[in-house]
Amino acid sequence: MNYFTFLRTLPELIRPQLPLPLQGFTVHQPFRWVIQMNYGERRLHYEIGRVARQKDLELGLHFESRDKNLNRYLLTGFRRHLIEIRDVLGEKVEVEMWDRGWTKVYERFPAGEITEAYQAQVAARMAQLMTVWHPFFVLLRNDVSAVYR
């Protein structure tokens, strides 16, 4: 399997491993080297792709809104909950500022040979991350929405 096929087919391995309410994500592949999944806001998405100039993968939740304050608010909210998140998912989860006022929550997944077995491992871990991260995301996103009503 090549890397493009690996990414393109990954969402359908993730979907059945999620709780039913989280299975309805939309998939977007803006570039051949990255796959994104979202729940109605394309700029606030889960993403899987290679770490720049390395073979490790980044499994992340990216906040790439044009509203830098929203990105910062989501980052700050995840930082407040980082101890809880790491208690469940482990110490590898990071929360950081990124490029263009964007922010992200992510974990580096060790490089492996692009096989169906490796793809299954990546899918299982991404499903775990999404299952833990999404309730925090919804809580924080709803807080922001309440302010703008």
Q: List CB contacts of 68: < 8 A, sequence separation 6 or more.
A: 101
Q: List CB contacts of 58: < 8 A, sequence separation 6 or more.
A: 47, 48, 49, 50, 51, 106, 107, 108, 109
SS3 state of residue 64: coil
In this structure, is residue 111 part of a structural domain?
Answer: yes
In this structure, is residue 149 part of a structural domain?
Answer: no
Instruction: Report whether pLDDT(139) > 90.
Output: yes
pLDDT in tens, 44-86: 999 999 987 788 999 999 999 999 999 999 999 999 999 999 9
Residue 126 CB neighbour total at 10 angstroms: 26
Residue 54 CB neighbour total at 10 angstroms: 10
| pTM (2 d.p.) | 0.94
- CATH code of residue 92: 3.30.1460
In this structure, is residue 60 part of a structural domain?
Answer: yes
pLDDT at 147: 61
Which domain range does residue 41 map to? 3-144
- Mean residue pLDDT across the chain: 94
The domain tally of the chain equals 1
